[in-house]
Chain A
């Protein structure tokens, strides 16, 4: 019951936070120079006054600012994300079209980085100061320091252009007519390079954090007690050290999970991955207000949801959390 109550109060706060974010975003987006009508006119290569006036009226930009804001807030409250006049489609439809591709990419990267990072961190801490440790920490430092954009391009050059092992860009083979399992395998092949590129940085972070945290917990008294009881070292590592060392890792994973929707813009651009990050970036350049605000709102909602989930995971790992002293 305590948990249900806590979640309910969190959700209420979340709704208010979300509305505040939406309004703030509205001001931010409108503060950028230029508007969607000017961009469309600019792209057309020819324009007259009538064209720009027509477009502004169509987009509702001829209304006073407070009317536009009131309309927007009214829409949000009724869960309507509005219409993208630039793309001629409802914003929700645009987002839902692009969301699966992004989630496949970011979730894969998330799990790769989390599992591999923690495993490597445990391995390094078990052999601290030895060659394995140096190798793992050295590699992690390299991944940590490499700019994502550069790593992505190099991965394409090596594995796609030079070796020809993996497709260098795209989500699937265009016009292949694949269905079912063949299509899944095809998408998987396209997924490897972008997911690895995106996952490397966080993998390095998880690795370093797990290693440091493991070493710290290993010095504590209850671990000495366990050792004195004659428990086998592998069990101590798994049940006593790792479980306690995971808390900071969970915090970080919660932060990364919050970026599942909006955090892959660069990767999606280099690998021509048809995800939501690109939709956001392109809409921003085109000042497609409704679409940008829609993507921002969905991203913000994801951050909030993952914050709540992180709190729940804390309780699972460490039952002491949530119990009043």
Chain B
């Protein structure tokens, strides 16, 4: 048994923050964009919901920026040598925001609740045989098979613990309490003035002594990107989460006094951008064409100009921030000549291809124009298609595209966030988040399967290295950028980003220096 003690981490955390006394009190104004549809994290898991509700609800574990598990609702945990049994010891004296005591019963209930409502949880829990609660503070999970990435599936967004006493026996979707969420987290819900702000306040009975430090959190809804920049400039808000303002505003805002920025806090998500290339039909069905696209694009230029220098040019399907990454793969530097050769070799007849950009603002539009120009230079005619978010979903999910921009989260492990885009069993119409390109490679499918259930990490690395090498050779999609979303904040806000999901659960430890 590998037993990890919570105390070790607490000591380390105290040392890291140094000698400065942490101050209590104050109010923090943050931007949330767009306005979340709901704050009930068990039912809705989109990005703005996670950012606000991550202070209200908690998972069993948190992850630091190196993606190592940290205590949260569980103070200790252990995995049996054969990888078949996970044991969690829960914190004692934890209560829900309405005063009801929290226990292992809530965890058991949450696994059932999430099975019905949380697609990603359903995927991770398909490897679980049974869950039991031998006593009020212990949870034991028995696996069907060892599943390496399982230990990465316990943060608040992946497995939020929801209150049994509120939801048991009710219709979850229409439960009136969804409007006033009750969690165990460091902040409690106060009010939500739709279209304006969400107000959370300090949980005075939080089970970790001395936390949280800040009295009030206001998540402000400002729909226009330029107005959000103004809101920060005029001091109305203190924190701009990644992606809240357009890239060209980032440099200007970070030059102001007392303004800091950080690219940390996205390690768990590791947003990875690429172009879906339709492997089924048209020129993109030819591997040589897809390779030519990779050689034709000046990805460094896009990073430096369109993204103002933020981000990293990826080597393949796995982000360099995700576990089991390797850079030992075929390389695709900017080489228009090589691209032309490949196009000649395949006898490309000049059929134009459609490109569907992401409807997420100016940056993505400019990016599409850069790609159009690059491909035009090697003789590929690109027609830019356009759609709003719903239309984009519809087109990609139903494979009505030649090339389409997207970016996806990796969730810390290739088995959780990468495999779904390349294995045959994930070719399913209707969702934009699976194997949309239609890549079929039975040999790779076997390796993916093996790697997911391999208990030994070294062997997993070998398998994933092999997978990455082959997939990069095949270019099922054109990888564009490991996106970086810098968080911009006033420098006197301390300890804001301490975990791999950053602002989504970071306000627990944050404090404001007077």
A38:B231 contact, CB within 8 angstroms = no
Residue of A with least CB distance to B157: A45
Contact of A33 among B34, B123, B391 (CB under 8 A): B391
Residue of B with least CB distance to A46: B120
Of the A-B pairs whose beta carbons lie under 8 Å apart in the complex, a sample of 10, sorted by A's number, is: A38-B394, A40-B37, A40-B46, A44-B433, A88-B40, A94-B194, A170-B196, A272-B223, A274-B193, A286-B389
Residues from chain B with a CB closer than 8 A to the CB of A269 are: 223-224
A85 within 8 A of B: yes
Q: Which of B424-432, B478-486, B503-511 contacts A (4 or more CB under 8 A)?
A: B424-432
A48:B227 contact, CB within 8 angstroms = no
A58:B230 contact, CB within 8 angstroms = no
Contact of A44 among B34, B119, B218, B430 (CB under 8 A): B119
**B interface, size bucket:** 35 or more
**By DSSP majority rule, is chain B's interface helix, strand, loop, or mixed?**
mixed
CB 8 Å contact bits of B77-91 with A (1 = contact, 0 = none): 000000000000000
Residues from chain B with a CB closer than 8 A to the CB of A275 are: 195
- CB B240 to nearest CB in A, in angstroms, measures 14
Q: Which of A111-119, A202-210, A277-285, A313-321 contacts B (4 or more CB under 8 A)?
A: A277-285
Residue of A with least CB distance to B389: A285
Residues from chain A with a CB closer than 8 A to the CB of B231 are: 168-169, 272
A169:B230 contact, CB within 8 angstroms = yes
A161:B196 contact, CB within 8 angstroms = no
Q: Which of A49-57, A135-143, A212-220 contacts B (4 or more CB under 8 A)?
A: A49-57
CB 8 Å contact bits of B171-200 with A (1 = contact, 0 = none): 001100011000000000000011111010
A47:B431 contact, CB within 8 angstroms = yes
Number of interface residues of A (CB under 8 A): 56
Residue of A with least CB distance to B171: A58
A271:B227 contact, CB within 8 angstroms = yes
Q: How far is the CA of A44 from the CA of B42 in the complex (A)?
A: 12
List which B105-119 residues lie within 8 A (CB) of chain A.
116-117, 119
A40:B44 contact, CB within 8 angstroms = yes
Q: How far is the CA of A32 from the CA of B390 in the complex (A)?
A: 9
Tell me the A residues contacting B by CB distance below 8 Å. 32-35, 38-52, 54, 58, 85-89, 94, 97-98, 101, 153, 156-157, 160-161, 164, 167-171, 174-175, 269-275, 278-279, 282, 285-287
Residue of A38, A40, A46, A273 with most chain B CB atoms under a 10 A cut-off: A46
B222 within 8 A of A: yes
Q: How far is the CA of A278 from the CA of B227 in the complex (A)?
A: 15
- CB A22 to nearest CB in B, in angstroms, measures 22
Residue of B with least CB distance to A173: B236
CB 8 Å contact bits of B123-144 with A (1 = contact, 0 = none): 1000000000000000000000
A47:B390 contact, CB within 8 angstroms = no
Contact of B224 among A45, A51, A270, A279 (CB under 8 A): A270
Q: How far is the CA of A48 from the CA of B116 in the complex (A)?
A: 12
A272:B224 contact, CB within 8 angstroms = yes
A47:B227 contact, CB within 8 angstroms = no
Residues from chain A with a CB closer than 8 A to the CB of B391 are: 32-34
- CB A190 to nearest CB in B, in angstroms, measures 11
Residue of B with least CB distance to A170: B196
Q: How far is the CA of A32 from the CA of B393 in the complex (A)?
A: 12
B64 within 8 A of A: no
Assess A85 versus B223: contact at CB under 8 Å? Given A42-B393, A45-B433, A174-B29: no
A43:B388 contact, CB within 8 angstroms = no
B220 within 8 A of A: yes
CB 8 Å contact bits of B376-404 with A (1 = contact, 0 = none): 00000000000111111111010000000
